[in-house]
């Protein structure tokens, strides 16, 4: 059962999300012709949880920041950056559904999506320039972008087949994925964005280095738990709630899914070989996806994955212990619980 978000958080979401989305659209459309704007805005109009701008704003407010105009551009920038990574990720993985709608590249074609992804990347730094501390915010954005690239490359190298025309990928695939490998990948690909969100909020609230680090640690741990939950939902979720194709990681032959990682430790050698043999097929059928999921269901992989996610939520909460006690801290704690138990 999904955790219920408290009324106070819902009220702040209703207040801030429309403001962030309006600012995202404004920044994305700066210097862009009218003919391109509708296409450019498709990605952000598809919705999303807006977790990253929310924790950015809540971090800012937690440390005493009060002026909306000081935080909105940066909060919009982090969500633009997140959507930039999603556009690239969907192109790389050939994903056709996101948030229950055709992905950006599927809607407009790969060539157009690749062109407009550049616009998203440029808009991130326009957002930084509009903030009250452009240098500091730009540094966080640039390092985060570099880190996500490393994570994306690891994710590609965790695939067991495909991209046969890409020599580097074929020659450098990981044949076995340890928990350490997995954690390195999700820290770089996913969790760093939530960390950056919190750090930007702290910087714009004139935080100390200690406060910035504590909020960054909170963000990273929430980001890890969020991705672990994503992996669980990829295999056990409901497509109508999740908004993405169930079993996509299996179809993409990715060992970089924590549920698969835990399942391989419990399944027999014969069963592991069976899964890996399916991963080597040119096409994986729906029946084969269901067969692999049935094998996983025999194990405690789902429960172990959930427990690991909850462990990181506890670490996130501990990071907030020495920060001011106010409603914004409580809201960040509530978002942490949502990250680990959501169904979408």
Measure the CA angle with vertex 15, ends 12 and 19; round to 5°: 130
- With a pLDDT cut of 70, the percent of the chain lying above it is 97
- pLDDT tens, position by position, 330-341: 999 999 999 888
pLDDT attached to residue 254: 86
Least confident of 80-84, 90-94, 312-316: 90-94
Q: Can you tell me the mean pLDDT for 63-88? A: 96
pLDDT at 3 > cutoff 80: no
- pLDDT tens, position by position, 94-130: 989 888 899 999 999 999 999 999 999 999 999 999 9
- The CATH class of the 7-341 domain is mainly alpha
pLDDT attached to residue 258: 96
pLDDT at 244 > cutoff 70: no
DSSP class of residue 3?
P
pLDDT attached to residue 49: 87
pLDDT attached to residue 48: 84
Q: Name residue 254's beta-bridge partners.
A: 159
Nearest to 204 by CA among 130, 137, 123: 137
pLDDT attached to residue 1: 44
pLDDT at 56 > cutoff 50: yes
The domains of the chain are located at: 7-341
Q: Can you tell me the mean pLDDT for 209-233? A: 97
Q: How confident is the model at residue 245 (pLDDT cuts 50, 70, 90)?
A: confident
Cβ neighbours around 34 below 10 Å, total: 7
pLDDT at 86 > cutoff 70: yes
Cβ neighbours around 150 below 10 Å, total: 15
Is the separation of the CB atoms in 226 and 339 below 8 Å?
A: yes
pTM metric for this prediction: 0.93
Q: SS3 letters for 42-107?
A: HHHHCCCCCHHHHHHHHHHHHCCCCCHHHHHHHHHHHHHHHHHHHHHHHHHHCCCEECCEECHHHH
Tokens standing for 183? 């954690």
pLDDT at 4 > cutoff 80: no
> Is residue 270 classed exposed, middle or buried when 0-12, 13-18 and 19+ CB atoms within 10 A define those classes?
exposed
Q: Where are the alpha helices (DSSP H) in 96-205?
A: 104-108, 110-129, 134-157, 167-171, 179-186, 192-204
Q: How confident is the model at residue 140 (pLDDT cuts 50, 70, 90)?
A: very high
pLDDT attached to residue 14: 93
């Amino acid at each position: 059962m999904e955790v219920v978000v408290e009324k106070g958080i819902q009220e702040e979401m209703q207040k801030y999300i429309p403001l962030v989305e309006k600012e995202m659209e404004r920044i994305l459309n700066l210097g862009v012709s009218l003919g391109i704007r509708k296409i450019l805005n498709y990605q952000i109009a598809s919705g999303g949880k807006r977790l990253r701008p929310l924790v950015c704003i809540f971090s800012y407010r937690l440390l005493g920041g009060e002026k909306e105009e000081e935080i909105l551009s940066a909060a919009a920038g982090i969500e633009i950056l997140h959507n930039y990574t999603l556009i690239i990720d969907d192109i790389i993985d050939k994903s056709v559904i996101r948030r229950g709608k055709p992905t950006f590249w599927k809607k407009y074609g790969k060539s157009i999506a690749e062109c407009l992804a550049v616009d998203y990347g440029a808009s991130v730094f326009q957002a930084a320039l509009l903030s009250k501390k452009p240098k500091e915010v730009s540094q966080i954005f640039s390092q985060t972008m570099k880190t996500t690239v490393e994570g994306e490359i690891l994710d590609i190298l965790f695939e067991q087949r495909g991209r046969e025309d890409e020599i580097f990928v074929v020659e450098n695939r990981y044949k076995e994925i340890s928990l350490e490998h997995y954690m390195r990948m999700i820290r770089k690909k996913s969790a760093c964005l939530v960390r950056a969100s919190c750090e930007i909020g702290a910087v714009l609230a004139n935080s100390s280095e200690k406060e910035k680090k504590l909020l960054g640690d909170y963000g990273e741990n929430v980001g890890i738990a969020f991705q672990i939950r994503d992996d669980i939902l990829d295999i056990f979720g409901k497509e109508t709630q999740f908004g993405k194709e169930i079993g996509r990681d299996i179809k993409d032959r990715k060992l970089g899914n924590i549920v698969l990682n835990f399942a391989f430790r419990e399944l027999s050698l014969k069963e592991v070989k069976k899964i890996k043999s399916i991963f080597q097929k040119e096409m994986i059928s729906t029946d084969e996806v269901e067969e692999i999921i049935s094998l996983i269901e025999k194990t405690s992989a789902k429960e172990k994955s959930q427990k690991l996610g909850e462990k990181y939520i506890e670490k996130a909460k501990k990071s907030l212990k020495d920060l001011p006690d106010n409603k914004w801290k409580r809201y960040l704690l509530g978002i942490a619980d949502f990250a680990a138990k959501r169904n979408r």
